[in-house]
Amino acid sequence: MALIHARQSLPERSVQEELSDVTGVRFDFEDFVKFEMKINLDARRDKNQTGEVCRYFILGRCRLGDKCPNRHATGKSVVCKHWLRGLCKKGDDCEFLHEYNLKKMPECWFFTKYGECTNSECQYLHIDPNSKVKDCPWYNRGFCKHGPKCRNKHVRKPLCQCYITGFCPKGPDCPFGHPKYELQETMEPGKVWKPLDEVVCFHCGEKGHFANKCPKRQPGFNRLAGQQQKPFAAFAIQTFESGR
């Protein structure tokens, strides 16, 4: 009973007083968390600056900006592909990460080039090419002269009545279309797109379509990572026999 009374008589300490005893404590990994992982260690940190790295921001194509739920890491945000093979000569001066992190791996060259990857254990990022295509600013205004041949996306949405009248409370989260009447002054430079009649499918060797849209596409090949794939050896034998 005396013990209980003694505990109750102890003065209560606020949270600030409790934390004041450890203000001088600093961990060795804090610099890595702050500068490499770009995570704000402040208790009042913005929730949008923590969590998974935005893969679209790594490619420079995130349209959500500050409203993106994932982290927009600057600086060393992608793993060095030369370091993965033990061939990087820059050491600490390298502008890419020298650590094995699956969330920060560079894009798979084969998936980016051909639209498919035959390696079932590929550790590189497989990003859907359609997600990289930007919305057509002319189509969003109401008309695009290129029509179906336009290299940008034509997304048809019913117009938002709230936006037309002057204000939409849902903003960019609105499922309806918000037409843009002002065009960008300068369009960002992009890669040169070949006409579809000049594209050669690496599956069948015919022109007019990409490999991921090939009508002779064999079952077992995947478009996105995580699906079952055909072994590379079987694919190589089939390709060799079909070419004879």
Q: How far apart are CA 211 and CA 217, in angstroms?
A: 8
Q: What is the pLDDT of residue 38?
A: 61
Q: What is the pLDDT of residue 52?
A: 63
Please check the confidence at residue 165 and state whether its pLDDT lies above 60: yes
Domain boundaries along the sequence of the chain = 30-104
Pick the CATH number of 30-104 from 1.10.287, 3.40.50, 3.90.180, 4.10.1000: 4.10.1000
Q: What is the pLDDT of residue 192?
A: 54
Which ranges in the chain belong to alpha helices (H)? 2-8, 15-20, 30-31, 55-58, 81-84, 109-114, 137-141, 161-165, 232-243
Residue type (1 letter), 180? K
DSSP per residue over 192-235, as a string?
Answer: PPPPGGG-B-TTT--BSS-GGG-TTPPTT--SSTTS----HHHH
Q: Work out the mean pLDDT of the chain and round it to a whole number.
A: 68
Percent of all residues in the chain with a pLDDT value above 70, rounded to a whole number: 56
Q: How far apart are CA 144 and CA 95, in angstroms?
A: 40
Q: What is the pLDDT of residue 46?
A: 42
Q: How far apart are CA 104 and CA 88, in angstroms?
A: 17
Residue type (1 letter), 128? D
Please check the confidence at residue 36 and state whether its pLDDT lies above 50: yes
pLDDT tens profile 177-233: 887 766 555 444 445 566 777 788 877 878 888 777 788 776 555 444 444 444 444
Please check the confidence at residue 238 and state whether its pLDDT lies above 70: no
Under the banding of pLDDT at 50, 70 and 90, the label for residue 58 is: low
Q: How far apart are CA 128 and CA 112, in angstroms?
A: 9
Q: What is the pLDDT of residue 181?
A: 67
Q: How far apart are CA 52 and CA 102, in angstroms?
A: 11
The answer to whether 147 and 138 have CB atoms below 8 angstroms apart is no
Please check the confidence at residue 54 and state whether its pLDDT lies above 60: yes
Q: Which of 3-12, 26-35, 107-116, 118-127 has the lowest mean pLDDT?
A: 3-12
pTM of the model: 0.29
Please check the confidence at residue 143 and state whether its pLDDT lies above 60: yes
Average pLDDT over residues 150-168: 83
